[in-house]
Amino acid sequence: MVNALLQQIKAEHSGNWDLYLSTLAVITPDFYAFDRPNYSRWLPIYIKAMCKLKSKHPQVYEEFAAGSFSISRSGHPFSQVAANMALEQSINADSKSKGGIVGISQSPAALERWFLTAHVRASVTTSLKELCGKEDRATGHKEATPPRVKRDEEDVRKLVGCFTSGLMTNPFSLETQPIVNMATGVVLPDDVADALLASHSKGKEQMMTFIEKRLNTSAVSFWDAIPSLKIKTFSSTTKKIKVKASDEKITTVSADRELFGRLLIVANTRQVNLKEVMSYELSPIYPAQNGNDFHSFFLSTPAKRTKEFFFKGIVKLSVL
């Protein structure tokens, strides 16, 4: 998947139409695997229409094959971006007014004037920038500038240093090859890891079923809901619990299983005695004191005046 995404970015930046379509076809099953219904429904139709572009609209195909499906504003190599992004960076950015449509959204006539004059505002803004010598034209690729290169090299050095220093397990040197989160060191359970590794093939099966039953035939309506595969990812390692707060509002609490791993990394990097840290309660109030009577005490008016002093006393006791 990562290689396909990199090839997709390369196709867009270099204006390679054939590579763009081929990589788009490769990543389409992943939209089915991870339950993205809008992309799953329309991407097969889009790819099929684009593959017939050469025979149905040869002039458009020639332009796309020449790289005109993406736009380069600077003229430098490998700097082309998608049309919607170029539109946001140029016309939409120059046509914006202070506040946008805030305050006129309830007036249809004002909204109509605002949209119909967008190109005029953009033209005036662009001409004014050219007059003042403030054109938005880069002299080189942003990622090739010395500050960006220096920052990227420093980030790579830190990442390699984190693996070689022993703070985290190097996921590329494990014999069993489990799926490891490089940022947190969390290892997925075997059943979740196996399902995640098979996600592309399951998504491909789902895609072929969709094409056969909804596009090639009418066995199933095109607009019927697409079944969800519900494949678990690293987000499944965080368990969410709903508890009822004192004001009767439901609050979602994340029980993060990565907490101890983060504490371990911090302890090694900052020379912190983790055993001593774990000797204290990881909560602002001791659980032994977190009873109903204790909670009612804090709700009383006199207690609010002494609450600050009480917590200061807890902090002092913890330090001692």
Spatial distance between the Cα atoms of 206 and 34, rounded to a whole number of angstroms = 11
Selection from 89, 86, 76 nearest residue 139 by Cα? 76
Terminal-residue alpha carbon distance, the chain: 53
Residues sharing a CB contact under 8 Å with residue 306, sequence separation 6 or more, in sequence order: none
What is the reported pLDDT for 77? 82
Spatial distance between the Cα atoms of 85 and 100, rounded to a whole number of angstroms = 19
The DSSP string of the chain is -HHHHHHHHHHHHHT-HHHHHHHHHHHHHHHHHTT-HHHHHHHHHHHHHHHTHHHH-HHHHHHIIIIITEE-SS--TT--EEHHHHHHHTHHHHH--TTTTTTTTT-HHHHHHHHHTHHHHHHHHHHHHHHTT-----SS-GGGSHHHHHHHHHHHHHHHHHHHTTSS--TTS-SS---B-TTT--B--HHHHHHHHTHHHHHHHHHHHHIIIIIIS-SS-TTSPPPP-----GGGGEEEEEEE-TTS-EEEEEEETTHHHHHHHHHHHHT--HHHHTTS-SSSS-GGG-SHHHHHHHHSHHHHHHHHHHHHHHHHHHH-
Domain range annotation of the chain: 2-139, 280-320
What is the reported pLDDT for 128? 85
What is the reported pLDDT for 318? 42
Distances in Å between the Cα of 114 and the Cα atoms of 93, 120, 288 are: 14, 10, 62
How remote is the C-alpha of 49 from its chain's centroid? 29
Neighbours of 33 (CB within 10 A): 23
Spatial distance between the Cα atoms of 222 and 41, rounded to a whole number of angstroms = 8
> Mean pLDDT, 10 residues at a time, over the chain (320 residues)?
91 94 95 95 96 94 94 84 85 69 74 82 82 69 85 89 73 68 76 91 96 94 94 79 58 56 67 74 54 48 47 44
What is the reported pLDDT for 150? 94
Spatial distance between the Cα atoms of 210 and 41, rounded to a whole number of angstroms = 8
